[in-house]
C-alpha cells in the first residue's frame, strides 16, 4: 500500500494498536519484520500510520504476536479493511482535521457518553445555538466558516437521530442550561429541542444540579465513544491545540470511573427533564 498524505485518527489508532501488540509480544520491529518476511521500515511505516495494512497481513501479524484476543483481532481487521469514504470527507480541506476525525469516530462508535459543564453537548445543539457558539470564537471566524461548522455539526447529529442511532447518554451541568447562548429565544428553543430529543428511547439526559452535597472530581467536558471492544474505546478532550484523543487502557479506565461517579450525583432522567422544563419556563 502507498504512503498516505494525512492519516486519520482511526488509521493512527489501528497503527498504535498493532504497535502495542508487538510490544506486548516483546518483539522489536526488526524481529517482527523477520517473522513476516518484510523489512523493518515497512513495520515502522505501518505502526506510524503512514501506510495501510491489509487484513491478511494484519492477521498474520497478530498470529506472530501470539494475540489470543480474537474479538480484538477481528475488530482491527475490520478497521484495516475499511475503505469507505464517509460524508465527512466533503469537509476535508475546509475544516480542521479534528472535525473529520470526530465525525469518523462517532460514525463507528457503538455507544456515546458526553459530560459538559458550560454548553449543551454538540450532538444535542440546535443550529442557532451552535451558530452563536461558533460566532463567539476568538479569533473571530468569517461568516462562511461559521456556517460551514454549523452544517457539519448538524450532520453529525445523525448518529443519534438517524436510521441507526447509537445509545447515547449526556450528563449536563445545570450551569450549561442556564447560560444564555445566543439570547433568550435561542436558549429557550435549545431547551425545548433538548426535551424533545431526550424522549427518544436511545437517548438519556441527566442534569448535574447546583445543589449537590458532594461532587465527582471532573472539571472539563468529555466525549466517550465506545468501540467494538472496550480496548478500542476513545475519549475526546478539548486541548490547547484542539481535540485530544485519549486511548490508552489505563486512561480509559480512569475516564470510565469518572463518568460513573458523575452519573451517581446527576439527577435521574425524569427529574432531569422536569428541571429542564422549569428552566425553559423561567426564560
CA nearest neighbour of 277 among 205, 220, 219, 210 = 205
Report whether pLDDT(186) > 80. Answer: yes
Q: What is the pLDDT of residue 213?
A: 74
Report whether pLDDT(240) > 90. Answer: no
CA distance 15 to 49: 5
Q: Is the pTM of this model over 0.85?
A: yes
* Percent of the chain with pLDDT strictly greater than 70: 95
Residue of higher predicted confidence among 5 and 16 = 16
Average pLDDT (29-43) is: 94
Average pLDDT (65-80) is: 96
What pLDDT digit, counting tens, does each position of 124-180 carry?
999 999 999 999 988 899 999 999 999 999 999 999 999 999 999 999 999 999 999
Average pLDDT (189-194) is: 98
Q: How confident is the model at residue 57 (pLDDT cuts 50, 70, 90)?
A: very high
Q: What is the pLDDT of residue 241?
A: 61
Report whether pLDDT(28) > 60. Answer: yes
The overall average pLDDT reported for the chain is: 93
Q: What is the pLDDT of residue 123?
A: 98
Domains of the chain, first to last: 9-81 (1.10.260.40), 95-282 (3.30.870)
Amino acid at each position: 500500500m502507498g504512503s498516505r498524505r494525512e492519516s486519520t485518527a482511526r488509521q493512527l489508532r489501528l497503527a498504535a494498536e498493532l504497535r502495542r501488540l508487538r510490544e506486548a509480544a516483546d518483539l522489536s520491529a526488526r524481529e517482527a519484520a523477520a517473522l513476516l518476511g518484510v523489512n523493518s521500515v515497512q513495520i515502522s511505516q505501518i505502526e506510524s500510520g503512514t501506510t495501510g495494512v491489509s487484513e491478511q497481513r494484519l492477521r498474520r501479524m497478530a498470529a506472530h504476536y501470539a494475540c489470543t484476543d480474537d474479538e480484538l483481532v477481528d475488530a482491527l481487521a475490520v478497521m484495516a479493511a475499511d475503505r469507505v469514504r464517509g460524508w465527512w470527507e466533503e469537509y476535508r480541506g475546509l475544516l480542521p482535521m479534528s472535525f473529520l476525525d470526530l465525525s469518523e469516530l462517532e460514525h463507528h462508535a457503538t455507544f456515546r457518553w458526553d459530560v459538559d459543564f458550560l454548553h449543551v453537548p454538540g450532538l444535542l445543539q440546535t443550529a442557532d445555538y451552535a451558530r452563536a457558539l461558533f460566532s463567539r470564537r476568538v479569533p473571530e471566524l468569517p461568516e462562511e466558516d461559521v456556517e460551514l461548522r454549523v452544517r457539519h455539526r448538524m450532520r453529525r447529529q445523525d448518529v443519534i437521530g438517524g436510521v441507526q442511532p447509537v445509545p447515547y447518554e449526556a450528563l449536563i451541568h445545570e450551569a450549561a442550561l442556564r447560560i444564555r447562548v445566543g439570547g433568550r429565544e435561542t436558549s429557550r428553543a435549545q431547551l425545548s429541542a433538548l426535551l424533545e430529543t431526550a424522549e427518544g428511547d436511545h437517548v438519556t439526559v441527566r442534569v448535574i444540579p447546583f445543589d449537590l452535597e458532594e461532587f465527582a472530581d471532573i472539571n472539563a467536558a468529555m466525549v466517550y465513544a465506545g468501540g467494538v471492544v472496550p480496548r478500542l474505546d476513545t475519549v475526546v478532550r478539548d486541548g490547547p491545540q484542539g481535540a485530544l484523543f485519549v486511548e490508552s487502557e489505563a486512561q480509559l479506565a480512569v475516564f470510565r470511573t469518572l463518568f460513573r461517579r458523575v452519573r451517581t450525583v446527576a439527577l435521574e432522567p425524569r427529574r432531569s427533564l422536569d428541571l429542564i422544563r422549569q428552566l425553559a419556563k423561567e426564560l
